[in-house]
Structure 1
Amino acid sequence: MKHSLAAAASDARSLAGSSDTYIFIEEIGRGRFGTIHRCYSPARDAFFACKVIDKSLLSDPTDRQCLTNEPTIMSFLPPHPHVIRVHESVDSPESLSLIIDLCLPISLHDMIVSEDRLPEPRVRRFMVQLLSAVAHCHAYGVVHRDIKLENLLLVRGGHRVREDGEGEDGDGYYSYDVSKVGEDFPAEEEFEDYGLKLGDFGSAEWLGEGGMAEGVVGTPHYVAPEVLRGHGYGEKVDVWSAGVVMYVMLAGFEPFRGESVEKVFEAVCRGNLRFPTSVFGGVSAEAKDLLRKMICRDASRRLTAEQALRHPWIANGGGAGQRVVN
């Protein structure tokens, strides 16, 4: 891909203030508070994404807290193939720029919108990656608090992760085949080439050993009931949210719904998990058992991420050879 840099040179610009030089290639995303660009590091001979946050758009104190929270929390976490890594942050009075892993400009949410529901074996592959990322965060005392489809970004070559080198601190950084950035979804048989990375740690909190978090944080359809009760809660809120992600991948809709945010919260607190036969008729009993143990209203009985990884549905192949009935 080196030859493409020469063609883009007239539009490229370096990231001022960085300890490295990053050449901006193109804009690949835009959000409420800024833009995301694909950029290139000549020193590493690698491509990254640069999230540029415009501080003038952050009028809410909560948004400002999330701005500083992400790079701080990410500093606690060693590299993991399914967690987006912040390689560098560059702060200025006007903006904050985060150099992060380059992913496709699509999320797991986009895949569900495109496909409606995913076959059970593919759901298992994604859940192995997600639960591995969650277990990694929890092992270092970090609770994410906003796991949802939109925060699970896709990468090509997700099953062929390689560690491409070591930085000055001795930590390796992970790269994927990003040659397909911007292309449409591939044919069905190529879907297994996708991997996912957990991102957006703006709502995350470091709990340490045995610590508790407080505050209503997260997204209504994915938030765990103990978050809404106004008391302290632990890392298992992420397991609940990951279970909701699994449910949506299999069903195409959330397990707890309502006509308003208040109604959604009421449904979450009731925790009445249903498996409509018209949707789940072709889903294995093992998958539904794992969902019950992850989306469990009693947090003391809910599985940990490590326990979920050892569940028979994960360990024994997750409905391999089965197909979700349309």
Structure 2
Amino acid sequence: MFQTLNNDFEILEEIGRGRFGIVYRCFCPLSGDFFACKTISKSLLQDSTDQDCLIKEPKMLHHLSNHPNITHVHKVYEDDNYLHLIMDLCSGEDLFDIISRKGHFSENEAAHIFTQLMAAIAHCHIMGVAHRDIKPDNVLFDSHNRVKLADFGSAEWFGVGDERVKMEGIVGTPYYVAPEVLMGREYNEKVDVWSAGVILYIMLSGVPPFYGDSAEEIFEAVVRGNLRFPSKCFRSVSSQAKDLLRKMICKDVSRRLSAEQVLRHPWVVNGGEMAEET
């Protein structure tokens, strides 16, 4: 006999809300554990693209979620009106909340979070998946304060080995989206590296590298890609951190680092601890 969601879990309070659904805290009486239940309303899916996201996200997460820094899907339930994903519970602040509260981070603090984020992104890319919406709101923390990359609703398969394909379509979020996406070109998984670089820039300085008074102005600044390090914000940031940022927020995709190359950069390897600079 099929067991429904309510047979297996007690649905508790709302802890988050997105474009298509609501996230609740839930409890499993059988195991005694708490989880998150992401409930997606099918009535909000306007077109075939939205419907593809409904099918794609649980498949992506199942494909990727053996990694410690990616949200894990434990069970999936579906009825005529809703899709329910039972996932890791990350009920604390997300990275956006922490940045808003702290303003900026020391290099050690930033490296601790950033390295986990890049490990998750590198795993996605090894598995042939581009997230395509890397932003602080999608960087969550579990009860052990471990980074969990979430929300794969915009993710896309690009394949591995000889089966690799270019991606297209404008997806992402102002401030974080890569210029080649906005220019309507085909692009590859390095769009995630650009976005992660923007996050690191903000963590170290407290300000975004490209900004404007509207989404259009932000997009124009991103497409120009004129990366600067204002002395007021970067006075105490090491040259190696700036070197990493230049190689991630690089408009020339062929020169932009891959996720695995980022993880091998000296600043990341040393956890933000730099030798004294002369």
TM-score normalised to the size of structure 2? 0.91
- Map of 1:23 onto structure 2: 10
Aligned pair partner of 1:224 in 174, 178, 183: 178
Shift of 1:20: 7.6
Contact 1:121–1:320 (8 Å) recurs in 2: no
2:27 and 2:215 map into 1 onto residues whose CA distance is 42
- Map of 2:243 onto structure 1: 289
Shift of 1:78: 4.4
- Map of 2:198 onto structure 1: 244
- Map of 1:93 onto structure 2: 80
Shift of 1:320: 6.3
Shift of 1:314: 0.8
> Where does 1:145-224 land on structure 2 (aligned, <5 Å)?
145-157=132-144, 194-209=145-160, 210-224=164-178
* Percent identity for Structure 1 against Structure 2: 53
Unpaired segments ≥5 residues, structure 1: 1-14, 158-193
Contact 2:68–2:148 (8 Å) recurs in 1: yes
Q: Does 1:109 align with 2:96?
A: yes
Contact 1:36–1:49 (8 Å) recurs in 2: yes
Unpaired segments ≥5 residues, structure 2: none
Aligned pair partner of 2:234 in 264, 268, 280: 280
- Map of 2:225 onto structure 1: 271
2:178 and 2:187 map into 1 onto residues whose CA distance is 9
- Map of 2:261 onto structure 1: 307
Q: Deviations over 1:280-312 (max 9, x none)?
A: 000111111000001010111111111101101
2:202 and 2:224 map into 1 onto residues whose CA distance is 18
> Where does 1:253-272 land on structure 2 (aligned, <5 Å)?
253-272=207-226
Contact 1:90–1:97 (8 Å) recurs in 2: yes
Could you say what the CA RMSD is over the residues aligned between the two structures, in angstroms? 2.1
1:213 and 1:106 map into 2 onto residues whose CA distance is 32
Contact 2:64–2:70 (8 Å) recurs in 1: no
Q: State the secondary structure of the residue aligned to 1:87.
A: strand
Q: Deviations over 1:264-293 (max 9, x none)?
A: 122111111111100100011111100000
Q: State the secondary structure of the residue aligned to 2:8.
A: coil
Q: Does 1:123 align with 2:74?
A: no
